[in-house]
Amino acid sequence: MSTSLVILREQAGHETGSHPENSRRFPGVLNRLGEDSQRHGLPILESREATVEDLLRAHTESHVENVRVAAENGPTWLDGDTVASPLSYEVARRSAGAALVAVDAVNGKAAEGTATTSSFAIIRPPGHHATADRAMGFCLFSNAAIAARYAREALGIGRVAVLDWDVHHGNGTQDILYDDPGVLFISFHQWPLYPGSGWLDETGVGAGRGFTVNLPMPPGCGDREHIEGFQAIAGPILDQFDPGLLIVSAGQDGHVADQLASQNLTAAGYHALASASADFASRKGIGLVALHEGGYNPNTLPLLDHAVYAGLGGFTPDLTGDTPAPELEETGWPERLAQIRRAQSVFWAV
C-alpha cells in the first residue's frame, strides 16, 4: 500500500476564534504527518480550488451563493454552530478541492510520481453536516458528497462508497446522497448525539433505498465495538456493493479524550479502522480517499491522525502516550448490533 497527504496551506484563513473547530487543530497534525511522510518517502500534494461546478454537484446554487455572501460580509453566524469569516468561502472551496486532488491521486490522475493507492486530506472546514442547501455543524460544503459525485460524473466511476466514522452522524452526506443508488453511505456515530439523525431505520428513499447504512452506537463504545461493527456490518455490505472508490469521512472525535462526545476509541482503534478500510480497498484493487472531519482536542489529534495515516500506508504507528480507555462491562452494544443487523438484512446479507 502507498499513501499520500493532501494539505490545505490556507486553512487558517477560515477564522473561527475560540470555536472548537479552529485553526489551532492542525499545526501539530501537519508536523507529525509531515515527519511520517518524509520517513516513509510518501508524497505530499497541494490542494486546489474546487470550481462552482464541482460544488453544484452536491449543493444548490442558492446555498453556494449564500456562503459566498455570508463570508464576504463576515464574520457571520450561519447557524448556532457555524461561522463564516471573510476568507471562509475561498478556504472551503480549497477544502473541497483538496478532496478532489485526493480522488485524482488514487485514480491515476495525479502528477507523475504522486499517484498512490490511498490519500489523506487534512482539511477544514469539515463537511459532513452541510446539506444540499444549508451550512450547519461547523460545515460549509459537503466535501465527501462533492468528491463522490466528482468521482462518478467526472471520472466515470460507477459505484462509490462513503464510510463515515466521525462520532457525529453525517447527516449532510446522507441528505445529499439519500436517493442515489450509485453511492453507498455507511455511518458509525454515537446515538443520541448531535445532530439527532442517523437512526437505524434511515435507509434511503426511492432508488436509493437500501444504500444508506446507519450504525447508531450507544455512548461508551470503543475500539472493540467499532471493529465488530465493521466486521459484522460495514465490511460485508461494502463487499456486496463492490465500489470502484472508497471515501472515508475520517473524524477522530470519538476518541476517549475528545470533549464533544462520550465514546472511548483509542489511537489503536483508529489505526484498526484505517487498516481495515485500506485492506478492503487493496483487496478490491480500488483507491481510498480519507477526508478529515472532526477531532477537537489539539493535544491528541496529531497522534490519532498519525494512527490513521499509518493504517492507510501500512506502516507501524507509534502510539506511545495515548489516553487509555475505561473498561466498561456493558454499553448496550450487543443488543444494538442485533437491531442494526435486522434493519440491514432486508437489503444485504449480514
Q: In the 8-state DSSP scheme, what is residue 13?
A: G
**Strands (DSSP E) found in 85-123:** 118-122
Residue 129 annotated in active site: yes
Give the containing element (helix H, strand E) for 327.
none
Residue type, 227: I
Exposure b/e, 7-31, CB count within 10 A at least 16 = b = bbeebebbbbeeebbbbebbebbbe
Cα–Cα distance measured from residue 175 to residue 181, given in angstroms and rounded to the nearest whole number: 13
- Write the DSSP assignment of 247-277 as a string of letters: EEEE--TTBTT-TT---BB-HHHHHHHHHHH
Structure-derived torsion over alpha carbons of residues 295, 51, 131, 191, reported in degrees to the nearest 10: -20
Give the containing element (helix H, strand E) for 44.
strand 44-46
Instruction: Judge residue 123's burial from the number of C-beta atoms within 10 Å of its C-beta, 0-12 exposed, 13-18 middle, 19 or more buried.
Output: buried
Phi, psi (rounded to 5 degrees) for 342: -65, -40
Which residue of the set 129, 226, 271, 292 is catalytic? Answer: 129
Beta bridge partner(s), residue 213? 186
Q: In the 8-state DSSP scheme, what is residue 211?
A: -
Residues serving a catalytic function are 129
